[in-house]
Structure 1
Amino acid sequence: MMQIELVVHNADIRTMRAERPRAEALAVAGGRIVALGSSADMLALAGPETRRLNAGGRMVLPGLQDAHIHLLNGGTDMVSGPVLYDATSVEALQAALRGFAKANPNGPVMGMGWQAGIFTDENLGRAVLDAAIPDRPCMLYDSSFHNAVINTAAMRAVALTTGQPDPPNGHFVLDAQGTPTGMLHEEATGWVRNRLPPTSHETHMKGLAMGQAHANRHGITGVLDAMIVDDNARAYAEAAANGTLTLRVAGTALVRPEDTAQTALERLSALRASHRDPLFTVHSGKFFFDGVLENRTAAMLEPYADSPGGNAPLMFEPAKIAALFKALDAARFQIHVHAIGDYAVRAALDGIESARRANGNWPALHQIAHIQMLHGSDLPRFRALGVMANMQPLWAIYDPVVPDLWMDMVGEARLPMVYALRDLLDAGAPLCLSSDFPVSTLNPFEIMQTAVTRAASAQARPFQPHQAITIAEALAGYTTAAAAACWRSHETGAIFPGAHADLIVIDRDISTCDPFEIGGTKVLATLLAGVEVYRDTQFDG
């Protein structure tokens, strides 16, 4: 007779399954759910060694999943440099740098999070950083991680001097005399980072521990890490092997414009073959088709609407897109594309369509991430091609602090199709929600609140409210749809017999509370395979 390890009882369980949407209790054996029913029936299955979790009548959900996150890199950035999201002036940024440098007197300073709507090519450069950190290399990424700024010591360390050509898909910002200012756009950030001392494995492991604890605290039990390179894979694999990984990780390995179909396929195949742990797998290829609107590198079908105008090219040639997509699709890799502009989105759809024509249809759920801009004529293609729209609705608001400069670039006529969640769902598109942490918070409840309200607060003007979705749709975006996006919906993302006992207990009923209170939801307990990986100190269940 199987031994019941855990009974969760006195609960309001939302299963995310239509055939049995609610239950009062569940039983777990071997890390999986084996039965659902009344508290009395489930407690009757318990033995003397069975753990009991009394939810106190609170809502219990499947563990949430973030299908576009940079968990390891975000955690690493949290331990290796200052976090600058709240800096709203040069003085505040410099104060944060000085504070971190004083507390951490050795090695390069690698910070993150300055806001591109506040700091620009005109007011941020090496001189600003030199005033705070003059004696060792310093590199600070913006909140999107598509721009960075370095100080003079870092410029010396990487030999960035006047006359250095821009790297492919990147740009060194220059002053009137042609001297680099220290500001970097797109692949110029990679050019610099690859010439600075590498992050140590020890720092990566500390970052992973911090990142996954941060995720578990917010109810996340599964992720798709959206840019895996060798160092990331090594850290995740080590944590999986030594039993310290507290969530399920699927990885998407970076594919670069210089790759051929052969080099990409060889590298991804080696990663997939090497990482088949139940908690860590590599199953997809990541492509950056464009940059971001804030630095004018988003690829649009029509030019930018502001006075400078202009546009940006795709980062991959269309012929190369077709060749790479066909090869990876044929080898049964999932394809995961960063696309901000509507031209980048269309190019991704075109590439997936060419792969389907060549290889036939299979349940890949290839993904296009972000989709800040979308042309209406491309809406039906998501359903027709089985493409998952992987979106971050936290950004679909009028920001109360950071100027929304990108709206002028988009122009009034195109704003109705910005983060078009409602239109995509109505067109039958598969849709999951995610964070892109550390670009923004990974708190799924704040993100779901914005998806439902499209406003920064109850008093704020909503942004394109016709694109709002329901809380039921938002919750599916973080459970059933996210699990499908991560290729684990057969055993996660819902509560049913046979599923992993990945569960969370939360402090309110998000289906009935004021929509503007969803973001304040507190996770009381997070379980992975029936084992607590987070518990709020005030929860006594």
Structure 2
Amino acid sequence: MPLAAHPADLVLRNARIHTVDPANPEAQAMAVVDGRITRLGTDDEAASWTGPHTQVIDAAGKLVLPGFIDAHNHVRLGSDDACVQLAGARTLDEVHARIRAWRMAHPDAEWIEAEAFDYSAIPGGRMPTAADLDPVTDGVPAFVLSYDVHTAWVNTAAMHRLGIDREHTRLPFGEAATDPATGEPTGFIRDFAVKGLSRDGHRALQRLGVPWASPDRQYGRLATSLDDAIRFGITTVVEPQNSLDDLALFARARAEGRLRSRVVAALFHPRGTTDADLDDFADAARRHADDRLRVGPLKLYIDDVVEPRTAALLEPYAGCRHHRGDTFYPPEEFAGLLAKLDARGFQCFVHATGDRGIRTVLDAVEHARAVNGPRDARHQIVHVECLDPDDTPRFAALGVVACMQPRHSAPEVAGPGKDWAENVGTERWHKAWPLRSLHRAGAVLAFSSDWNVAEMDPMIGIYTAVTRRPLDGGEPWMPQETITVEAAVHGYTMGSAYANFLEHDRGSLTVGKAADFVVLSRDILRSAPEDIPGTVAETVVVGGRVEHGEC
């Protein structure tokens, strides 16, 4: 065929392109000019797009998908190689062993810091205490974060260093639990994600000398996580909770060439946020609004998490007569707040895990629509872990996006015998991560990892959404809520693009959109589900530029 007058900058050929575009679902070849897709077609056609300086990627018949969009990924939080890594430590003895080993390797450390602590490691279903840490920390202050970063655990020396005593339990970075008999703080700190990751909370930790909170440590975590993201084929990362201070970290990553994935950064709206703060948020959104770094959505919390029984449930927790968790705002106050933010044009990401927390957010969105009139707000409920069936159709009816993390629903994470399943009780298991129910009801599903709470790899999320099985096989948990591979891929691409107002630029391989795509080592649309987690991103392209792999 004759050579085009203006050859492409890049041509992908010999591929099985799954476009996630129903108008043109498959292709063999794709042309890219100035970072955007200009043609989709056959290998025969590709010859006419190719000139002497065209970069050609031969996909060798492999599956090509749009770049993954991780709709909720805490790239600033982990993992931190300066911390004791507690992931997989299933008992208190194993936690102790890992801390002892770290202490031997770092005898001069002024702080012991650890991350990824699993609540189930503590016997009897109780929360950890300083007395559990003191025997292995030798008077050195210890600061331990849970795997979900919603709580912290400190020893006696750290309580002294952080100013925690019976008169000082309401902290800038959390709420110190107290012994009901003595009133003394126990060493367990709740609400860390809500307070400790806020601007004020983080600054307080820095003033108190916690190394984990230092800017250099933050940047190290961010840079490493961004490297992981591009390696996994994640071409857009949505970082869901940042203060204005944190934006400098992304600017540094961009200047140093580490921002290879595109980033959407949401700003944290803790309780007490002022109108002046909102003006500053809006100004930051205006200053950061290109296709590599965009700032704008607001992150709020309505409840906490199920494992330490701080999520808001409609009925009491299993084994409790009365306790059903609390919302951070009374429902009427939250409805007024959401209406105010909606009126100013902000999109809101609201953390809600319990069925009462989720209902409170849906009620607030309904109130905002009644007060302000309907608009294309695309407010998100993030996590949607325990959803009452009566509320399932309200997502589509109210235009609320379900931003969910399939990996959280895995049996070895939340199933029988784990704190999540035990705390809600068997009679509520049917409410657990209802992916299929929401999908059938017409809700937009936006998928994500919630790194570093769970693995960042989208293949693990897709596998879990499709099987509800453990990673090593075994029996599924709540398999009636599985979805197809195609639906799971949509959740990680077009669903997440739509959720973040990116559907006209990303999410599918469509002429005119950004050339963000991934060549996979295996055709996950045709392979056995158990082979999906072993699939890797061999080539990752962002804006027509190869950012990972070879061509």
Q: How would you bin the TM-score normalised by the shorter chain?
A: over 0.9
What secondary structure is seen at the aligned counterpart in 2 of 1:249? Answer: strand
Q: Compared with structure 1, are the counterparts of its residues 106 and 364 closer, same or farther at alpha carbon in structure 2 (3 Å cutoff)?
A: same
What secondary structure is seen at the aligned counterpart in 2 of 1:428? Answer: coil
Note the C-alpha offset of 1:137.
Answer: 3.0
Greater mean deviation of Cα atoms: 81-90 or 27-36 = 81-90
Alignment of 1:370-449 (within 5 A): 370-399=383-412, 403-449=417-463
CA deviations over 1:211-264 (Å, ceiling 9, x no partner):
01111111111111111112321111232345431111111111112235x245
CA distance in 2, matches of 1:263, 1:301: 35
Structure 2 residue identity aligned to 1:197: G
Match of 1:34 in 2: 38
What secondary structure is seen at the aligned counterpart in 1 of 2:17? Answer: strand
What secondary structure is seen at the aligned counterpart in 1 of 2:84? Answer: coil
Note the C-alpha offset of 1:459.
Answer: 5.0
Q: Compared with structure 1, are the counterparts of its residues 525 and 425 closer, same or farther at alpha carbon in structure 2 (3 Å cutoff)?
A: same
CA distance in 1, matches of 2:92, 2:245: 33
Alignment of 1:61-72 (within 5 A): 61-72=65-76
Instruction: Kindly tell me the number of residue pairs found equivalent between the two proteins.
Output: 534
Q: Compared with structure 1, are the counterparts of its residues 6 and 211 closer, same or farther at alpha carbon in structure 2 (3 Å cutoff)?
A: same
| Contact in 1 for aligned 2:68/2:233 (Cα 8 Å) | yes
Structure 1 residue identity aligned to 2:86: L
**TM-score normalized by the length of structure 1:** 0.92
Q: Does residue 1:115 correspond to 2:115, yes or no?
A: no
Alignment of 1:83-482 (within 5 A): 83-101=85-103, 103=105, 105-119=108-122, 122=126, 124-166=128-170, 170-174=175-179, 176-187=181-192, 190=196, 194-195=204-205, 196-197=208-209, 199-260=213-274, 262-307=275-320, 309-399=322-412, 403-456=417-470, 459-482=473-496
CA deviations over 1:256-301 (Å, ceiling 9, x no partner):
12235x2452242233133223211112111111111111111011
Match of 1:53 in 2: 57
Note the C-alpha offset of 1:378.
Answer: 1.1
Note the C-alpha offset of 1:468.
Answer: 0.9
| Contact in 2 for aligned 1:126/1:152 (Cα 8 Å) | yes
CA distance in 1, matches of 2:520, 2:436: 27
What secondary structure is seen at the aligned counterpart in 1 of 2:366? Answer: helix
| Contact in 1 for aligned 2:473/2:530 (Cα 8 Å) | no
Structure 2 residue identity aligned to 1:253: L
CA distance in 1, matches of 2:305, 2:169: 22
CA distance in 1, matches of 2:254, 2:443: 34
Unaligned runs of 5+ in 2: none
Unaligned runs of 5+ in 1: none
CA distance in 2, matches of 1:158, 1:166: 12
What secondary structure is seen at the aligned counterpart in 2 of 1:297? Answer: coil
| Contact in 1 for aligned 2:176/2:185 (Cα 8 Å) | no
Note the C-alpha offset of 1:380.
Answer: 1.5
CA deviations over 1:421-478 (Å, ceiling 9, x no partner):
1111111111111111111111111111111111115752221111111111101000
TM superposition outliers: structure 1 runs of 4+ over 6 Å:
none
**TM-score normalized by the length of structure 2:** 0.91
Structure 2 residue identity aligned to 1:326: A
| Contact in 2 for aligned 1:134/1:152 (Cα 8 Å) | no
Note the C-alpha offset of 1:202.
Answer: 2.6
Q: Compared with structure 1, are the counterparts of its residues 440 and 426 closer, same or farther at alpha carbon in structure 2 (3 Å cutoff)?
A: same
Q: Compared with structure 1, are the counterparts of its residues 43 and 80 closer, same or farther at alpha carbon in structure 2 (3 Å cutoff)?
A: farther
CA distance in 2, matches of 1:458, 1:149: 30
Greater mean deviation of Cα atoms: 172-181 or 14-23 = 172-181
| Contact in 2 for aligned 1:434/1:444 (Cα 8 Å) | yes
Note the C-alpha offset of 1:39.
Answer: 2.1
Note the C-alpha offset of 1:349.
Answer: 0.7
| Contact in 1 for aligned 2:127/2:188 (Cα 8 Å) | no
Q: Compared with structure 1, are the counterparts of its residues 350 and 264 closer, same or farther at alpha carbon in structure 2 (3 Å cutoff)?
A: farther
What secondary structure is seen at the aligned counterpart in 2 of 1:344? Answer: helix
